[in-house]
Amino acid sequence: MAYLISEEAQDLLQDVKKFCEKEVVEQCKAYDVSGEWPKEIYDKAIEQGYQALEVPEEFGGPGLSRVDVAALIEQMAIADAGFATTISASGLGMKPVLIAGSEALKQRACDLILDGGFGAFCLTEPGAGSDAGAGKTTAVKDGDEYVLNGRKCFITNGGIASFYCVTAMTDKTKGVKGMSMFFVEKGTPGLSTGKEENKMGIRTSNTCDVVLEDVRIPASNLIGEEGRGFNIAMQTLDQARTWMGCVATGIAQRGINEAIAYGKERVQFGKPIIKNQALKFKVADMEIKTETARQMVAHALTKMDLGLPYTKESAIAKCYASDIAMEVASEAIQMFGGYGYSREYPVEKLLRDAKIFQIFEGTNEVQRIVISNSVIGK
């Protein structure tokens, strides 16, 4: 394993593995079919404090390094990618506050997480996906308050969050320099959510629209300064992309695990199919690519922990890991043969889960732009 983790994290990793084997793997199969959000699974995860893995020690959290957390998140993803996405997205919801928020907002966000809540990051809009600066949501200053209006879409944890970090335009004439970031708590009048998306994969995560209709919040809920919203959002995504690479690596690892287990059991021509050299080579290639993805994730997170620039490394980790998750899932299906195409077996789900990681937190096409700009120059 590429993750060189602390003794505390090693103990936690064993706890997470046991928890996932007991409470997640089998249970999530039914929820993948129904599309319902598995509240009881997350309630048990909250009892273990898994939603708070990224809360800094100074705000009451466990004080784990990012690399420590990555090992835990990947283990969750091996069990179920939707489960890992939900836990990871809660940390994502906190990141804008931790990057630029006041000490009071940081403590409030962390307290909500520690109390069993989830966070959500609200950037994407119906007309603003890769072009995040095209958002229509507005925030108008009114005395000592801001009034927010707009609609966000495809928001992970949207229907279950205790708080939302929301981008909104405070000055439409300035383009992305007129975008600001705000902290909005659940239950604020005018804040509502749309129906849950009926997704192809990661069906144990909650994804929906977040609607703001004359939502009034204190001016102190501005994160950072007016006009810094786009910059804060990009810093948030720089971090989030590596976590998506981490989850994608877990999907790939599950594909390897399932392919090997099936290959040892499936007998053709008088011997287990895993004895065929062609399949051994296939497994070797799957392992090479998965371990490479894991190393890329670990490298990006190590640079974050050291306070070094990591934008390019984060983009590489997300882009490569999500691409190989799709590839490894497809190869696992191939090793299962016709059974791999059946929903009675676990590998077709891996392909459905993997696809979104090439899309959200910036499509892989956008990642390649980020990478090329870093190498060539803009």
pLDDT in tens, 56-76: 999 999 999 999 999 999 999
Res 129: pLDDT: 78
Q: How far, in Å, CA of 117 to CA of 99, rounded? A: 20
pLDDT digits (tens, 9 = 90+) for 316-332: 999 999 999 999 999 99
Alpha helices in the chain (DSSP H): 7-23, 27-34, 39-47, 66-79, 81-100, 103-114, 229-265, 277-305, 311-336, 347-355, 364-376
Strand-pair category, 179-185 with 222-223: antiparallel
Distances (CA, A) of 333 to 76, 295, 316, 319: 21, 25, 26, 22
CA angle (96 as vertex; 160, 357 as ends), nearest 5: 65
DSSP 197: P
Amino acid, res. 168: A
Q: How far, in Å, CA of 306 to CA of 349, rounded? A: 36
For residue 63, what are its two tokens? 């004080």
Residue keyed to tokens 């392992």: 287
Residue keyed to tokens 């190869």: 331
Q: Is 125 tagged catalytic?
A: no
Res 1: pLDDT: 53
Amino acid, res. 196: E
3-state secondary structure (DSSP) of residue 215: strand
Residue keyed to tokens 């956008």: 366
For residue 338, what are its two tokens? 């016709």
Q: Which residues of the chain have pLDDT under 50?
A: none
Res 132: pLDDT: 78
Q: Spot the catalytic one: 196, 258, 327, 361.
A: 361
For residue 174, what are its two tokens? 């300035």
Res 3: pLDDT: 78
Instruction: Name all domains of the chain by residue range, CATH numbers in brackets.
Output: 7-114 (1.10.540.10), 119-228 (2.40.110.10), 231-376 (1.20.140.10)
For the four alpha carbons of 93, 94, 95 and 100, in that order, the dihedral sign comes to positive
List b or e across 197-214, with b for residues whose CB sees 16 or more CB atoms inside 10 angstroms.
Answer: bebebbbbbbbbbbbbee
Distances (CA, A) of 124 to 198, 203, 208, 272, 367: 18, 19, 11, 48, 17
Q: How far, in Å, CA of 336 to CA of 350, rounded? A: 13
For residue 259, what are its two tokens? 């392919």
pTM for the full model?
0.95
